[in-house]
Structure 1
C-alpha cells in the first residue's frame, strides 16, 4: 500500500512537471462527478410532477394566493400530456385552486426540450468489478477494505456487489436527455421558474415526442441517357 501511494505521488509530480504553463485554448476537463435520474416508467413521470409542484409552491408562498392555470402545449407528447394531468391532480389534491381559464390566474408553462447526444457515451460506475471465486462466492475488487467488510458481513458478497451498484441504471449512458423548465407567470412578470434535466431510455424516445427520421434507402437504379446518331 505504501509502495502504491509513493508511486502515485511520483507519477503526479512527473505529470505536473510536464504540464504546459501556457495554452492557446482552455484545456478540456471533466465536471465533478454527479448523478442524474433515468426515466424508465410512467410512475417516474408522477414523481417528476410531485417534484415540480413542491419547488413551484415553495416559491409561490412568497406571494398572495391566486388560482393556477396549466397552459398546455399544442400537440403534446404522451409524456407532456401525462405530466400536465398529474400536476393538476397533485395541485387539486393539495387544496390549490386550478382554473380552467387563464383569466385572473397565474399561468404555469411546462417547456420540455429533448436533446440527443452522440451514441456510446461512457458510463462510469464504482471502480472495480465483481468476479466469481468459486460457486456462489464472489469478490468486490478495488473497494476500500472497511467498506467491503461491512457490506459483505451484512448481505454477502454477491448481494454486496448489487448493493454497491443498484443505484445505477442498467445499460450504457442514454444519448437522450430531457430539459424541463417550469415557469409561473402572469402578463407582467415571472413568479417562479425552475429547470431540471433527466435521462430518457433511448427505446422510449417516441413517448417524449422525438420522432427519428427513417434512414434513406440506397438508390437501386440509375437512368442513363444514350447519345448517338439517329
Structure 2
C-alpha cells in the first residue's frame, strides 16, 4: 500500500514538473490546420478574378461606372489579372469604362512575400486514413470483379488509385517559399467602397511572374571628351 502511494506521489510530481505555470515569453504553438490554394496556371488566375468580381459586386452600388486601373510597373500576373477582372466585371453586368472620368477606380495590388525555403508540410496524420477511405470509396468496383486472383489484384489497384485520388487535392512538392497577397479594391474620390484580400501559394519557379516589371535600361556610356592635338610637321 505504501509503495503504491509512493509511486502515485512520484508520478504526480513528475506530471506537475511537465507543466510550467510561468514562462518568460509566450510559448509558440501552431495554428489549427488550414488549406491555402497554390496558383499554377493562368486558368487559376481567371478563377480567382471571377471570385474577386463576385465579392466586389456584392458591395458595389447598382449602376456604378467602373474603371480598372493598372500601374506602370505591374507584374505579368497583375497585367493578366486586371484583364481577367475586367472581363469578369463586364460579365457580372457592370459598366466598365475605358477611361477613368466619372468612374470609380478598381485597383489590384499584389504583395509577394518570400518565406524560408523547405518549410515542413504534413498532409496526413497517417497514410492508412487516406488509403482506408479510398478502399471504401471503391468498394463497389471490387465487389463486381471476379473471385480469386483477379479480384485481389483489382483490390490492390483500387487501393492505389484511391490513394492517388485523395492525395490529388494537395499540391506536389515542398511548401512553396513564396506567397502572394492579392488585394482588390473599389474606391471613389474619398473612400473605399469595397475591398477584398486573399493569400495564395505560388510555385517557386514562377516567382518572376509575380514580381514588379522592371524596364531594362541600356548601359550609359561615359561622356566623350574632345582633345585638340597640337604639333606635327
In structure 1, stretches of 5+ residues that fail to align are 1-13, 130-140, 212-230
Matches within 5 A, 1:75-224: 75-129=73-127, 141=128, 143=129, 147=133, 149-153=135-139, 156-209=158-211
Following superposition, the deviation at residue 103 of structure 1 comes to 2.0
Aligned to 1:51: 51
Q: Secondary structure at the match of 1:123?
A: coil
Task: Describe the shift of the 1:78–1:16 C-alpha distance in structure 2 as closer, same or farther (beyond 3 A).
Answer: farther
Q: CA RMSD in A?
A: 2.4
The number of aligned residues is 186
Task: Describe the shift of the 1:68–1:149 C-alpha distance in structure 2 as closer, same or farther (beyond 3 A).
Answer: same
Following superposition, the deviation at residue 82 of structure 1 comes to 0.4
Between structure 1 and structure 2, the one with the greater Rg is 2
Going by fraction, where is helix more abundant, 1 or 2?
A: 2
Task: Describe the shift of the 1:67–1:40 C-alpha distance in structure 2 as closer, same or farther (beyond 3 A).
Answer: same
Looking at structure 2, the residues matched to 82 and 69 of structure 1 have their Cα atoms a distance apart, in angstroms, of: 16
* TM-score, length basis structure 1: 0.74
Following superposition, the deviation at residue 64 of structure 1 comes to 4.5
Task: Describe the shift of the 1:191–1:154 C-alpha distance in structure 2 as closer, same or farther (beyond 3 A).
Answer: farther
Task: Describe the shift of the 1:100–1:127 C-alpha distance in structure 2 as closer, same or farther (beyond 3 A).
Answer: same
In structure 2, stretches of 5+ residues that fail to align are 1-13, 142-157, 214-233
* TM-score, length basis structure 2: 0.73
